[in-house]
């Protein structure tokens, strides 16, 4: 805390003069004409050229290895490994001290979700750019505040008397005092006390999540009106006084017990929305009136059937202006997301994007009366506007008959209909969904059991660094050899350097306690790069018969954490031997090398446009996601498999070499994915030494990738590869699942058996068509059972597609035969039934006769009836219709005779109703 106290004693008289000098400056000079591109470049140049910040490119909006996020929603997302102390010490990120960038952000799902507000006001967006500057253990509050004030008032020319500043007022319940240090810094800069406003936890204390780095923040707000005291309007969510910049001071860590500890390294994280800043600098109260949106709104109007955009909100007749804003916002989001590899789909971020697309289409067609294809035609305009950040059925006609939560949930879960559109469309009709029931159904759907991992927190990582605990040497994971077709893995003896109990570092754990173990060295592979972690166990010196099973292996900030439940006590300094599950490791090596070969085969068959979109390697199978226009054909699947198995049969050598990252990137044909790579980086190639590829300037077709995974030394150990599944996840992205070795052989055998079974059914159908209903139904059932087996048995996917096509033909043929025979049987039975009714009526001319009979195969009943001529008020057709309709059937006939069918095998209710109906008619 001494460092914090000393800062208060340094006067900032020079900055105080800045405030008074700038407050008198007019805001009508060059600033209102400043284009958005200049606003962005001025921000980046200010921090890069004047204050020595490193310019870091925007990361894609698809989060890198962060399952807690649907989209990148803040500038700090890509820097989370630094804040958490988990940045790979070999990566460029580990060297960052002060950086600046403009980050593409999407807030349309999860904790930060602005989707519902878009269109209703003039400043919410699902996509926006976040301008930010960061300090990682370099400068702190004083420098951050003075730089921010200098940029806004000197370089952008914003009048100081339009600005208000908020700071953290403290929170007694959390034991947090007011951030008086920040308050004093602003006073020294020259902000008048009446414009310096205290707020609580909600407004001015920022937290990354339930646990982790956090701290007080100070926000700068702008008054669009000016010439008044607007302090009472700050943080009231009004359009006239808006927050433009948030400066977060990361100085605490929130523990799992909600306690706060000072971080060993203080950091700064700032964020300023470009769209809102541009509206200030261009003198507009609406973001949509700036040059980030006006070309787009004009392009929308050219393609619409309504009048031009006029900026109305509350009095927006017909919601025309709302629709303009929705379409303009959503097409920006869609363009950026699709360019970054997120496509509309049925789950996660893809589902959110699908909702955005449907929402945009609905407003475009129903409100703006634009033709099909309008959204696609707007993309070039979006690209022209956003070029500086490196952008890489046309209507809904749903009819709601009920508004229960279960109906809304069914529409959403089963048909993908967005819940926000259900609400919106019903709201327009004065109807509301039962949200209590809907919330219950959603909660039930989201009940998933997630087992938490013992991962090091930022404080414990800092303690390890501070105590001089060296990073884990895990190089042994690569030191295996091949001896006469048998892989030999090295023995590994290690020393326990640290133990983590889930909350803090401890010197000892007792029997039954779950903990993270950090060793000086390990041969275990930690889960990264899409490959599952190794399995195995420890034994302790002097206690060789007690096993410590390793449940997971995690990499954090240069340390490998082995998660175990202690079978006996374990303390720092203990000597252990690591026992690797060699069969599991070898299976993962097989799948990982096969994944690289598959990547190459897909490019050779489908062309160089194929891009990897994700992969996962486990002991039992591999999964590979890639960009492609549509599902692969049977022929393409066969070609890919042949290409892979040719390389396997050739038993090519798998080479690996560690290189400086910049040198590795010079290799022609190198395949990478959107990840942060360490430096130096491991290069894996199949069939050609890495050294040859460095010097080779030809476009030779070989598999060469940056990869930290463990691989085979020769491809022959894969034995065989079979693609058992290939499907489109979303439009433009396919997923392949494949098996290898014995599993591949079993898949081929199963495919052969199923193929023979389909041949047998085909021969039966073509040889002699079934003549009885019983035999036809048995045949149809056999086809159905075999179809299920083909759908669900691991077999080659190309073969599955072929068999499915043949079985669909058999199913149609057998269903047609069943329907014909059922119709013939019904006709026969009805004829017999009608003759019996006639005979009974002849024997008793004054009787009202109805007969019901079960139909053996269909689960229906047959109905026939006849009534006397002397009672015109009682018609046979009415009687048959009443009885058959009672059970969901149909009937017809004349006044004297009628017949029909009803559903169900229990005819007691129908008989009872037939008697009741007849008595009522006879009494009339």
Q: 300 with 370: CB under 8 angstroms?
A: yes
Rounded CA gap, 516 and 501, in Å?
A: 6
In this prediction, residue 49 carries a pLDDT of: 95
Q: 13 pLDDT band (50/70/90 cuts)?
A: very low
**For the chain, how are helix, strand and coil distributed in percent, rounded to 5?**
40, 25, 35
SS3 180: helix
Which CA distances in Å does 476 have to 17, 479, 536?
61, 5, 15
SS3 631: coil
Around Cβ 797, how many Cβ atoms within 10 Å? 26
Phi-psi domain of 268 (left: phi exceeds 0; alpha: psi -120 through 50; beta: other): beta
Pick the CATH number of 591-734 from 3.30.950.10, 3.90.740.10, 3.30.980.10, 1.10.645.10: 3.30.980.10
In this prediction, residue 670 carries a pLDDT of: 87
596 marked as part of a ligand binding site: yes
Q: 580 with 523: CB under 8 angstroms?
A: yes
- Topology adopted by domain 36-291: BirA Bifunctional Protein; domain 2 (3.30.930)
Confidence (pTM)? 0.69
- 361 is written with which tokens? 């289409």
Residue 2, pLDDT > 60, answer no
Q: 836 with 882: CB under 8 angstroms?
A: no
| pLDDT, average across residues 804-830 | 81
SS3 labels along 367-397:
HCCCCCCHHHHHHHHHHHHCHHHCCCCCCCC
Residue 449, pLDDT > 50, answer no
Q: Write the burial class of residue 43 (CB in 10 Å: 0-12 exposed, 13-18 middle, 19+ buried).
A: buried
Average model confidence (pLDDT) for the chain? 85
- Fold match between 36-291 and 591-734? no
Q: 20 pLDDT band (50/70/90 cuts)?
A: very low
Residues 6+ apart with CB under 8 A from 283: 27, 32
Residue 837, pLDDT > 50, answer yes
592 marked as part of a ligand binding site: yes
Q: 422 with 412: CB under 8 angstroms?
A: yes
Rounded CA gap, 856 and 871, in Å?
A: 34
Residues 6+ apart with CB under 8 A from 771: none
* b/e per residue 151-185 (b: at least 16 CB within 10 A): bbbeebbbbbbbbbbbbbbbbeeeebebbebbbbb
Which residue would you say has higher pLDDT here, 629 or 571?
A: 571
Strand ranges for 697-806 from DSSP E: 703-706, 721-730, 733-740
Instruction: Order the strands of the 860-866 sheet from edge to edge.
Output: 849-854, 860-866, 897-903, 890-893
Angle at 536 between CA 534 and CA 541, to 5 degrees: 130
Sign of the CA dihedral 111, 113, 116, 120?
A: positive
Q: 152 pLDDT band (50/70/90 cuts)?
A: very high
| pLDDT, average across residues 683-693 | 92
Rounded CA gap, 136 and 474, in Å?
A: 27
Number of helices followed by number of strands (H, E) in the chain: 25, 33
SS3 599: helix
Residues 6+ apart with CB under 8 A from 659: 680, 681, 683, 690, 694
Angle at 473 between CA 469 and CA 478, to 5 degrees: 170
The DSSP letter of residue 511 is T
Sign of the CA dihedral 147, 152, 154, 156?
A: positive
Short-list 671, 680, 669, 676, CA closest to 705: 671
Rounded CA gap, 906 and 261, in Å?
A: 72
Residue 488, pLDDT > 80, answer yes
pLDDT digits (tens, 9 = 90+) for 267-305: 999 999 999 999 999 999 999 999 999 999 999 999 999
Q: 498 pLDDT band (50/70/90 cuts)?
A: very high
Report the CATH number of the 844-923 domain: 3.10.310.40
Rounded CA gap, 277 and 35, in Å?
A: 11
Q: 605 with 639: CB under 8 angstroms?
A: yes
End-to-end Cα, the chain, rounded Å: 99
Rounded CA gap, 318 and 629, in Å?
A: 38
Phi-psi domain of 164 (left: phi exceeds 0; alpha: psi -120 through 50; beta: other): beta
In this prediction, residue 910 carries a pLDDT of: 87
Short-list 594, 620, 876, CA closest to 746: 620
| pLDDT, average across residues 338-347 | 80
Residue 502, pLDDT > 50, answer yes
298 marked as part of a ligand binding site: no
pLDDT digits (tens, 9 = 90+) for 33-60: 689 999 999 999 999 999 999 999 999 9
Phi-psi domain of 197 (left: phi exceeds 0; alpha: psi -120 through 50; beta: other): beta
Could you give the angle at which helices 13-23 and 141-150 cross, rounded to 10 degrees? 30
Angle at 727 between CA 725 and CA 729, to 5 degrees: 130
Residues 6+ apart with CB under 8 A from 223: 162, 163, 164, 230, 233, 240, 241
| H/E run at residue 590 | helix 582-606
Sign of the CA dihedral 544, 549, 552, 557?
A: negative
Rounded CA gap, 538 and 410, in Å?
A: 50
pLDDT digits (tens, 9 = 90+) for 213-244: 899 999 999 999 999 999 999 999 888 999 99
In the chain, where the domains are located: 36-291, 292-390, 458-580, 591-734, 744-821, 844-923
Q: 896 with 866: CB under 8 angstroms?
A: yes
| pLDDT, average across residues 5-33 | 35
711 marked as part of a ligand binding site: yes
Q: 478 pLDDT band (50/70/90 cuts)?
A: very high
Peptide bond preceding 451 in cis form (omega within 30 of 0): no
Which CA distances in Å does 657 have to 665, 706, 795?
13, 10, 36
Rounded CA gap, 722 and 644, in Å?
A: 9
Q: 241 with 223: CB under 8 angstroms?
A: yes
In this prediction, residue 633 carries a pLDDT of: 93
Q: 750 pLDDT band (50/70/90 cuts)?
A: very high
Tokens 């290898």 map to which residue?
Answer: 740
Which phi and psi angles does 759 have, rounded to 5°? -55, -45
Tokens 């997301």 map to which residue?
Answer: 337
Q: 179 with 206: CB under 8 angstroms?
A: no
Residue 23, pLDDT > 50, answer no
Pick the CATH number of 458-580 from 1.10.10.10, 2.160.20.10, 2.40.30.130, 1.10.260.40: 2.40.30.130
In this prediction, residue 187 carries a pLDDT of: 97
């Amino acid at each position: 805390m001494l460092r914090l106290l000393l800062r208060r004693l340094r006067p900032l008289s020079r900055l105080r003069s800045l405030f008074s000098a700038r407050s008198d400056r007019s805001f009508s000079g060059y600033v209102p004409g400043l284009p958005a591109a200049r606003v962005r470049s001025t921000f980046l140049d200010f921090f890069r050229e004047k204050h020595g910040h490193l310019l870091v490119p925007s990361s894609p909006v698809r989060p890198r290895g962060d399952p807690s996020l649907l989209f990148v929603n803040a500038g700090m997302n890509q820097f989370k490994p630094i804040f958490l102390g988990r940045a790979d010490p070999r990566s460029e990120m580990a060297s960052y001290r002060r950086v600046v960038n403009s980050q593409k952000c999407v807030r349309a799902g999860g904790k930060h979700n602005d989707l519902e507000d878009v269109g209703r006001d003039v400043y919410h967006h699902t996509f926006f750019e976040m301008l930010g500057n960061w300090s990682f253990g370099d400068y702190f509050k004083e420098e951050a505040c003075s730089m921010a004030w200098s940029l806004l008032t000197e370089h952008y020319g914003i009048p100081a008397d339009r600005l208000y500043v908020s700071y953290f007022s403290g929170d007694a319940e959390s034991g947090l005092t007011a951030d008086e240090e920040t308050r004093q810094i602003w006073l020294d800069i020259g902000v008048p006390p009446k414009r310096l406003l205290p707020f609580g936890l909600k407004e001015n204390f920022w937290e990354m999540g339930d646990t982790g780095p956090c701290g007080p923040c100070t926000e700068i707000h702008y008054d669009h009106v000016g010439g008044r005291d607007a302090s009472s309007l700050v943080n009231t969510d009004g359009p006239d006084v808006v927050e433009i910049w948030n400066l977060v001071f990361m100085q605490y860590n929130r523990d799992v017990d909600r306690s706060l500890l000072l971080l060993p390294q203080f950091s700064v994280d700032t964020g300023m929305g470009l769209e809102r800043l541009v509206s200030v600098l261009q003198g507009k109260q609406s973001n949509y009136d700036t040059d980030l949106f006006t070309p787009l709104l004009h392009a929308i109007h050219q393609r619409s059937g309504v009048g031009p955009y006029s900026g109305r909100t509350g009095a927006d007749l017909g919601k025309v202006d709302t629709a303009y804003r929705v379409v303009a916002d959503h097409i920006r989001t869609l363009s950026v997301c699709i360019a970054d590899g997120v496509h509309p789909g049925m789950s996660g971020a893809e589902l959110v994007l699908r909702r955005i697309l449907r929402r945009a289409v609905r407003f475009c067609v129903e409100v703006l009366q634009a033709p099909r294809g309008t959204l696609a035609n707007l993309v070039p305009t979006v690209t022209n506007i956003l070029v500086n950040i490196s952008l890489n059925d046309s209507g809904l006609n749903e009819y709601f008959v009920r508004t229960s939560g279960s109906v809304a949930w069914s529409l959403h879960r089963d048909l993908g209909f967005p819940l926000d559109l259900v609400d919106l469309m019903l709201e327009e009709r004065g109807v509301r969904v039962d949200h209590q029931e809907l919330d219950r159904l959603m909660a039930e759907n989201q009940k998933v059991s997630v087992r938490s991992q013992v991962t090091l927190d930022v404080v414990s990582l800092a303690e390890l660094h501070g105590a001089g605990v060296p990073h884990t040497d895990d190089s042994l994971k690569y030191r295996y050899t091949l001896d006469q077709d048998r892989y030999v893995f090295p023995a590994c003896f290690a020393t326990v350097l640290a133990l983590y109990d889930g909350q803090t570092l401890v010197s000892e754990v007792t029997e039954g306690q779950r903990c993270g173990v950090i060793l000086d060295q390990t041969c275990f592979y930690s889960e990264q790069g899409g490959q599952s972690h190794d399995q195995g166990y420890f034994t302790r010196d002097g206690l060789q018969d007690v096993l410590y099973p390793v449940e997971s292996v995690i990499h954090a900030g240069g340390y490998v954490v082995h998660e175990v439940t202690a079978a006996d006590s374990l303390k720092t300094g203990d000597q252990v031997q690591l026992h690797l599950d060699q069969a599991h490791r070898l299976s993962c090596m097989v799948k990982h090398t096969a994944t690289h070969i598959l990547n190459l085969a897909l490019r050779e068959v489908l062309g160089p446009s194929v891009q990897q979109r994700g992969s996962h390697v486990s002991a039992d199978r591999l999964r590979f996601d890639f960009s492609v226009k549509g599902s692969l054909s049977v022929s393409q699947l066969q070609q890919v498999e042949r290409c892979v198995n040719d390389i396997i049969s050739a038993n090519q050598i798998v080479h690996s070499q560690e290189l400086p990252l910049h040198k590795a990137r010079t290799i022609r044909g190198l395949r990478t994915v959107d990840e942060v790579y360490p430096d130096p980086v491991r290069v894996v190639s199949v069939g050609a030494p890495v050294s040859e590829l460095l010097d080779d300037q030809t476009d030779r077709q070989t598999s060469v990738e940056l990869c930290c995974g463990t691989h085979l030394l020769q491809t022959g150990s894969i034995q065989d590869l079979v693609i058992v599944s290939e499907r489109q996840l979303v439009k433009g992205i396919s997923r392949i699942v494949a098996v290898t070795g014995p599993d591949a052989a079993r898949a081929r055998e199963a495919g052969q058996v199923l193929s023979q079974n389909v041949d047998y059914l085909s021969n039966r159908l073509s040889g002699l068509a079934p003549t009885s209903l019983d035999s036809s139904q048995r045949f149809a059932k056999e086809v159905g059972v075999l179809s299920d087996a083909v759908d669900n048995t691991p077999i080659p996917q190309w073969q599955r597609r072929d068999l499915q096509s043949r079985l669909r033909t058999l199913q149609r043929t057998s269903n047609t035969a069943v329907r014909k025979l059922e119709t013939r049987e019904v006709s026969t039975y009805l004829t017999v039934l009608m003759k019996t009714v006639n005979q009974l009526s002849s024997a008793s001319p004054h009787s009202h006769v109805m007969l019901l009979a079960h139909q053996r195969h269909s689960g229906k009943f047959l109905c026939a009836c006849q009534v006397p001529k002397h009672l015109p008020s009682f018609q046979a057709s009415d009687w048959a219709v009443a009885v058959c309709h009672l059970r969901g059937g149909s009937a017809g006939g004349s006044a004297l005779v009628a017949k029909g069918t009803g559903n169900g095998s229990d005819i007691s209710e129908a008989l009872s109703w037939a008697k009741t109906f007849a008595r009522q008619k006879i009494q009339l």
